[in-house]
Amino acid sequence: MENKLKDRFFKLLKKDGRLWDKEGKELNQTLLKDLIDRLDANLLALFLADKEIKEKYFIKVGDVFVLKQSELKFFIDENKLDNSYTRYQNKIGLRAGDRLLGERGEVVLDWPFKDCVLEGGMAKEDQKRDEIFFNQILAKDEIDRLFDPKAFAGWTRHTAKGAEKVKELKRGQDGVIRENLIIKGNNLLALHSLKQQFAGKIKLIYIDPPYNTGSDSFGYNDNFNHSAWLTFMKNRLEIAKELLSENGTMIVQIDDNQLALLKILMDEIFNTNITKNKQNFVQYVEVRSNVGAANEYQNPFMPKNCEYLLIYAKNYNERIYKPIWVKSSVDLSYSKIILNPEEINYKKWKVVNIKNEFEKKYDVSDWKNENIVYEFFFENANRIFQSIGPKGPGAGLLAAMEESKKNNGWSLYKRETAPIYCYKGRMVRFYSKNIRQDENGNKSIVRELGSLWTDILWNGISNEGGVTLIGGKKPEKLLRRIIQMSTEPEEIILDYHLGSGTTAAVAHKMGRQYIGIEQLDYGENDSVVRLDNVIKGDQSGISKAVGWKGGGEFVYCEMAKLNERAKEMILAAKSLAELEKLFGDLYERYFLNYNVEVKNFREKIINEAGFKKLKLAEQKILFLEMLDANQMYVNFSERHDKKFGLAKDDIAFSEDFYEGK
């Protein structure tokens, strides 16, 4: 009976194309369980259409049929409906209760930057990169020393002369490391390793994380659902918040796919609760992107051409924000002008319509000439004004407005900061507030930038910094603006999804200290290559705007690898034969998961015909899952253990990093 039911169920699932690989041969058991958990309407309709399935796995409550989810998932597990590599996970010991370890975790250990494409477990995504990136999700009871500080290796200082050995780590008078740092390694573990030195010291954290779209240039394994992505973000946001200074800012760039969920998550982490008058959420900023790009018009509903900045303060009352001014055309809502500004007694100022004064010097037709009007407003900015009704004026300003209304003329509201003039019952804003001087001393008419940014072009940025990256790369001008409004020179900026290094490159040119973390090696397009170009005087991006001529330096180091090295060897293997040769080395030199049945795997499973028929990517995932995730890198506390093979210099500089020796 059970076998017949299994066959019946198997045929039923064949009708749902979502559940199968592109050849239609292998069932995605993880997705099936996820759809059952979510009570997917299409799947339920399939089940209810079959009389036997309906009778066995549904209970009728009134006129409603309720799915027995636990019983159905147990049936799936017992009968191994997936017919794929997951049944070997059970044989090796990579199961916990009725769920795989990778389905029930609290910490997402690995996740690549969104420019990368996964090969392992992929379906129809184009293969643009060579990495197969293994992601592991760990439950609380599996996390032992995961977040202990890690040792660092490969310390190298990059200057205009090239790469050289680090002789010492520079520190400020407060003892804080004053080096630009590029750290290669898992960003979650690296963030925890930064905590001792940089907790409360970072002024700005900007990240451009994976967007979890499933269709941008990042391909996701089928079990990377909303919950896994949010767990991944939560792990990192929590420790990142601890690194922020009290007046620090965190800015996350995201598209609309996860915007709503991310906002809820960040509200929780940053203690934002409007009903309880807690507000560390600062602003949404909408950023115009992909102008004229082909993918702008591929959305089935309407062109998709915006991304978003979610801005949070560590402490809203302590936050620091510097207004951003952008060049603007003349604002003709400023329609009044003072005829006698030289008069000391403001109550005697005479006011006329601006056109009347304009036509004393220019032709009537010149009012349509933008250049002439611009020049007129620029020259007379101190006497051109508009009158406005402010929202919720205080008692003092309100009294001054009332006074000017009664006398049908001028009044003044005096305060510690600049006084406010009022005219005929309204507050006055002079056009001189729209004149600003840039860093080169040039004055121009500007407007204060709001929460809609449409003026930064994204076209033609793929080669900025001398590195080529198509998709996911952000304009240097965008990062310049973010850094301008949030930091001062020499303050510290952190980007733990560094990718091609835009944040670090812009911070370097703008005289800020920076820390960048990235796990992947982008080869000739790596952030280290880009920063070397910056030091040599790279003239792309914002270089001309800030007068960049080159110079400066940064220190590169890697988290000292342990099982991470084993993972890299597994991913590099070209065949099952290479994996078999590696297994002995894995067992002897590296750390395997405590519940892995090594003997069973070594003597039986590798030689099974079914295992040999699995795709190489699936075979690799099994090898990877045997590695103990607590031992991916060398803990700082074990730096002297000879079996880990750390060089004396690496030990010394790891000690210098943590202890200042």
Please state, rounded to an integer, the average pLDDT across all residues of the chain.
83
Weakest-pLDDT range from 4-18, 399-413, 641-655 = 4-18
pTM value is 0.77
For the stretch 286-301, pLDDT in tens is 999 866 555 555 566 6
Instruction: Provide the token pair at 181.
Output: 């740092």
Q: Which residue has the higher pLDDT, 17 or 134?
A: 17
Q: How far apart (Å, rounded) are the C-alpha atoms in residues 367 and 92?
A: 82
Q: Which residue has the higher pLDDT, 87 or 404?
A: 404
CB 10 within 8 A of CB 19: no
Burial (Cβ within 10 Å: 0-12, 13-18, ≥19) of residue 43: buried
Q: Percentage of residues in the chain with pLDDT exceeding 90?
A: 46
CB 576 within 8 A of CB 619: yes
Instruction: Evaluate if residue 615 carries a pLDDT over 90.
Output: no
Task: State residue 460 phi and psi, 5-degree precision.
Answer: 75, 25
pLDDT of residue 81: 55
Q: How far apart (Å, rounded) are the C-alpha atoms in residues 379 and 367?
A: 15
Instruction: Evaluate if residue 533 carries a pLDDT over 90.
Output: yes
Task: State residue 213 phi and psi, 5-degree precision.
Answer: -90, -25
Average pLDDT over residues 358-368: 93
Q: What's the N-to-C CA distance of the chain in angstroms?
A: 72
Beta carbons within 10 angstroms of residue 390's beta carbon: 13
For the stretch 57-110, pLDDT in tens is 888 888 888 888 878 877 776 665 544 444 444 444 334 334 432 344 478 888
pLDDT of residue 393: 86
Composition of the chain by helix, strand, coil, percent to 5:
40, 20, 40
Strands 492-495 and 202-207: parallel
What are the residues whose beta carbons fall under 8 Å from the beta carbon of 109, sequence distance 6 or more?
Answer: 135, 136, 137, 138, 146, 186, 188, 189, 629, 632
pLDDT of residue 120: 40
pLDDT of residue 525: 78
Average pLDDT over residues 569-593: 82
Q: How far apart (Å, rounded) are the C-alpha atoms in residues 643 and 629?
A: 18
Q: Which of 547, 275, 308 is nearest to 438 (CA)?
A: 547
Instruction: Evaluate if residue 3 carries a pLDDT over 80.
Output: no
pLDDT of residue 101: 29
Instruction: Provide the token pair at 567.
Output: 């993972």
Average pLDDT over residues 646-651: 94
DSSP-derived 3-state class of residue 428: strand
pLDDT of residue 483: 97
CB 379 within 8 A of CB 427: no
pLDDT of residue 292: 55
For the stretch 274-287, pLDDT in tens is 555 568 999 999 99
Burial (Cβ within 10 Å: 0-12, 13-18, ≥19) of residue 194: buried
Burial (Cβ within 10 Å: 0-12, 13-18, ≥19) of residue 650: buried
The crossing angle, in degrees rounded to 10, of helices 187-198 and 226-243 is 20
Weakest-pLDDT range from 84-93, 135-144, 151-160, 554-563 = 84-93
- Residue 184 DSSP code: E
For the stretch 206-215, pLDDT in tens is 999 887 655 4
pLDDT of residue 611: 77
What are the residues whose beta carbons fall under 8 Å from the beta carbon of 368, sequence distance 6 or more?
Answer: none
pLDDT of residue 587: 72
Residue type, 378: F
For the stretch 556-566, pLDDT in tens is 999 999 999 88
